[in-house]
């Protein structure tokens, strides 16, 4: 029986991958299933929080009792995160945001050019949403990011913690079996702004989500007592 420590707290969770339109029938996507973010949303609900789930397209059914916002692109995700973060206590960015989007989005389906076997698609950088959030973050707001890495996990994740002014980074080595995209399990390292580093075993994404929420509860308790 979990206690409802987060009654009255507003949480924004992002989940799934963004889709960046090329034309009306094509997009650039990624392998994110949304499973980790949805598990985080459910774990916050279980502790009594009011949850807004902002999600890219997934095969999952959103939990009951969340405010559900569906997005496609990183730009739409950014708009919704900024809008909802202002009145929230906690933000968990589990979404896999595309780093780049096409410079132009064609209104018509792009046709094959019979005279050319190659086609170059020009991309431009998407905004870093957590960096934008860092600029408007208040002292009593808690922000959590994810870091999917294949090398030098702790160094890369610690850099993210600082650059994005995060309270907690959940880092996973996505080159390991059973870890990261599309599976029901995960093995993570929690890197906290208080410099603690804690690695878990291979657990279900629900179990990881519960550990994450426990850590956030400790941080909200601290920021409330300042
Ligand atoms: O820098 P990197 O993409 O590895 O950082 C991952 C974390 O940053 C995730 O929490 C992700 O949701 C967030 N992110 C973001 N905006 C981006 C890219 C990633 O907020 N454009």
Structure confidence by residue, pLDDT tens digits, 98-140: 999 999 999 999 999 999 999 999 999 999 999 999 999 999 9
Determine the Cα–Cα distance for residues 4 and 106; give it in Å rounded to an integer.
48
Dist CA 64 CA 79 (whole Å): 24
Rounded to 5 degrees, φ, ψ at 189 are -120, 125
Instruction: Please check if 146 is assigned to a binding site.
Output: yes
Band of residue 225 on the pLDDT scale cut at 50, 70, 90: low
Domains and CATH numbers, the chain: 10-99+123-225 (3.40.50.10300)
Give the C-alpha separation, 43 to 46, whole Å. Answer: 5
Between the alpha carbon of residue 172 and those of residues 26, 107, 159, 164, 185, the distances in Å are 30, 38, 14, 17, 11
Q: Report the SS3 class of residue 144.
A: strand
ipTM of the complex: 0.96
* Residue 130 alpha carbon, nearest atom of ligand 1: 20
Structure tokens at 93: 């960015």
Measure Cα distances from 25 to 20, 45, 108 in Å: 11, 36, 9
DSSP 40: H
pLDDT of residue 224: 67
Point out the ligand 1 atom lying closest to the alpha carbon of residue 126.
21
Mean pLDDT of 152-177: 94
Ligand 1, atom 21: closest residue by C-alpha: 128
Closest Cα to atom 19, ligand 1: which residue?
97
| The length of the chain, given as a count of residues | 226
**What does pLDDT average to over the chain?**
95
Region 9-34 average pLDDT? 97
Q: pTM of the prediction?
A: 0.95
Say whether 155 is catalytic.
no
Which residue among the candidates 1, 30, 84, 140 is catalytic per the annotation? Answer: 30
Residue 1 has a pLDDT of: 64
Rg (CA), the chain: 18
Residue 160 is assigned to a ligand binding site: yes
Task: Tell whether residue 164 is among the known ligand binding residues.
Answer: yes
pLDDT of 180 > 80? The answer is: no
Q: Does 168 sit in the ligand 1 pocket, CB within 6 Å? A: no
Side-chain half-sphere exposure of 144, counting CA atoms within 13 A? 31
- Indicate if the pLDDT at residue 95 is higher than 80: yes
Q: Cα 42 vs. chain centroid, distance in angstroms?
A: 14
Is 11 near ligand 1, meaning CB less than 6 Å away? no
Specify the residue with its C-alpha closest to ligand 1, atom 1.
160
Q: Does residue 183 or residue 59 have the better pLDDT?
A: 59
Residue 192 backbone dihedrals phi, psi, to 5 degrees:
-110, 155
């Amino acid at each position: 029986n979990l206690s409802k420590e987060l009654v009255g707290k507003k949480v924004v969770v992002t989940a799934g991958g963004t889709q960046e339109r090329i034309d009306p029938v094509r997009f650039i996507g990624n392998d994110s299933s949304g499973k980790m973010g949805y598990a985080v949303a459910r774990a916050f609900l279980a502790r009594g929080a009011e949850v807004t789930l902002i999600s890219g397209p997934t095969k999952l059914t959103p939990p009951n009792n969340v405010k559900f916002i569906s997005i496609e692109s990183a730009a739409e995700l950014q708009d919704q995160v900024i809008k909802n973060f202002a009145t929230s206590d906690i933000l968990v960015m589990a979404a896999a945001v595309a780093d780049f989007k096409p410079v132009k989005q064609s209104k018509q389906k792009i046709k094959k050019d019979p005279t050319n076997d190659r086609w170059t698609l020009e991309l431009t950088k998407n905004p870093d949403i957590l960096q934008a959030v860092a600029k408007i973050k208040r002292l009593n707001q808690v922000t959590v990011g994810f870091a999917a890495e294949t090398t030098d996990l702790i160094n890369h994740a610690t850099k993210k913690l600082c650059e994005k002014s995060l309270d907690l980074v959940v880092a996973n080595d996505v080159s390991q079996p059973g870890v990261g995209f599309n599976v029901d399990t995960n093995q993570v390292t929690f890197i906290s702004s208080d410099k603690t580093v804690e690695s878990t075993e291979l657990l279900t994404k629900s179990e990881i989500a519960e550990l994450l929420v426990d850590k956030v509860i400790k941080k909200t308790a601290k920021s409330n007592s300042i």
